[in-house]
Amino acid sequence: MGESAQVSAASHRSIPAGDPGPVATRRGAGGAFEDDVSGRTWRSRVSPFVGLAPFALYTLVFLGIPALAIVYGAFQKPSGGFTFENLRLATTGIYRTGYETSLELAVISSVVPGIIGLLLAYAIHTSKSTNLRRIVSTSSGVFANFGGVPLAFLFIATLGTTGVATTWLRDLGIDPYQHGFDLYTLSGVALVYMYFQIPLMVLVITPALGGIRSTWREAANNLGARSWQFWRHVGGPVLLPSVLGAVLLLFGSALSAYATAQALTSGSIALTPIQIGTFLNGNVLAGEQNVGKALGFGMIVIIMVVMLLYGILQRRASKWLR
């Protein structure tokens, strides 16, 4: 108390009579503008954001400006001037089918791998073998990043009509193509997507599982909860925001994937990313030059709606975090 009183008195003495006292800003000795109230210079306020500048520039150049160009172009006639015609065309006929198929594929390829990946990650997380954990973690990193044309050819060479596995199975008297399987259909594409979506889910959700403390489980157990009751009341709700976030990531990944589906189906399935690719390749009817941009605009809207829904769900699921 005494010490603080002295400090207080000293600081009062340091202000000469007639001093106007602290002001909001004034020129400091070093030439920088100083905020006398907080004692922070504008440099100290700006410096934390300097490191973000390259990322901000990157995002602006490769996301912001292209997105603005797409939105602008979606409402422009080829000859110039505002129009809704591009949007009308993009939401009817084959393009509408493209959206529906893309959404169906994205939902299947996010929910199913989400569940499988979660169960797999949980099994690995609870395994006592550190070697198994290390192997699965490393291989997940590899598989999650293996996609595009090589992945499509891997599946064609293995499970295509004349693939190695298909031939072996035929030799064994089982022809998968006679039993409803077809790699070149929507379900085939979804199967191929699982190849990188499941490991991606494992990679993303494993740290969240690590956040489930063993003593929560023991405490629940001690209070009379069985394993499923722990997951119903504690583990599940705690994990839900992370699971939602991970599934959203898978959804975005599946919705926008292009190369794998294109290489696998050669455009025989109506998927919006492939349709946009067709426009980029210049296969355009006269007067429909900007329909591709309208399709891109539709994709942006879908992602925004999904993110909005995710935000609402996430807020509800994690209200205990606020």
- Choose the binding region for other proteins from 93-101, 102-110, 168-176, 225-233 (rule: CB under 8 A): 225-233
Per-residue CA distances from 232 to 51, 117, 242, 298 (Å)? 42, 19, 16, 37
Q: Which is nearer to other proteins, 45 or 226 (CB)?
A: 226
Q: Which is nearer to other proteins, 67 or 219 (CB)?
A: 219
What is the footprint of other proteins within residues 182-221 (CB under 8 A)?
213, 215-216, 218-221
- Choose the binding region for other proteins from 108-116, 132-140, 230-238, 270-278 (rule: CB under 8 A): 230-238
d(CA 26, CA 33): 6
CB of 217 to other proteins, least distance (A): 9
Q: What is the H or E stretch that residue 282 is in?
A: none
Residue located via tokens 């529906």: 100
Structure tokens at 78: 């080829």
d(CA 101, CA 116): 22
In three-state secondary structure terms, 290 is coil
315 lines the binding site for other proteins (CB under 8 A): no
Q: How many residues bind other proteins (CB under 8 A)?
A: 19
CB of 76 to other proteins, least distance (A): 49
Which of 79, 222, 281, 282 lies at the binding interface for other proteins (CB under 8 A)? 222
* Site pattern 231..270 for other proteins (x: CB under 8 A): --xx--xx--------------------------------
d(CA 212, CA 206): 10
CB of 232 to other proteins, least distance (A): 11
In three-state secondary structure terms, 308 is helix
Q: Which is nearer to other proteins, 234 or 307 (CB)?
A: 234
Torsion of CA 159, 161, 163, 166, to 10 degrees: 70
Q: Which is nearer to other proteins, 104 or 218 (CB)?
A: 218
Structure tokens at 280: 């980029």
d(CA 235, CA 211): 10
321 lines the binding site for other proteins (CB under 8 A): yes
Find the DSSP H helices in 179-290.
186-210, 214-222, 227-230, 236-256, 259-265, 272-280
Q: Which is nearer to other proteins, 169 or 225 (CB)?
A: 225
Q: Which is nearer to other proteins, 12 or 322 (CB)?
A: 322
226 lines the binding site for other proteins (CB under 8 A): yes
Which of 1, 5, 29, 223 lies at the binding interface for other proteins (CB under 8 A)? 223
The DSSP output letter for 32 is S
Please, are residues 272 and 264 in contact by the beta-carbon 8 Å criterion?
no
Q: Which is nearer to other proteins, 11 or 131 (CB)?
A: 131
Per-residue CA distances from 312 to 9, 245, 262, 299, 317 (Å)? 53, 12, 34, 20, 9
126 lines the binding site for other proteins (CB under 8 A): no
228 lines the binding site for other proteins (CB under 8 A): no
Residues that bind other proteins (CB under 8 A): 213, 215-216, 218-226, 229, 233-234, 237-238, 320-321
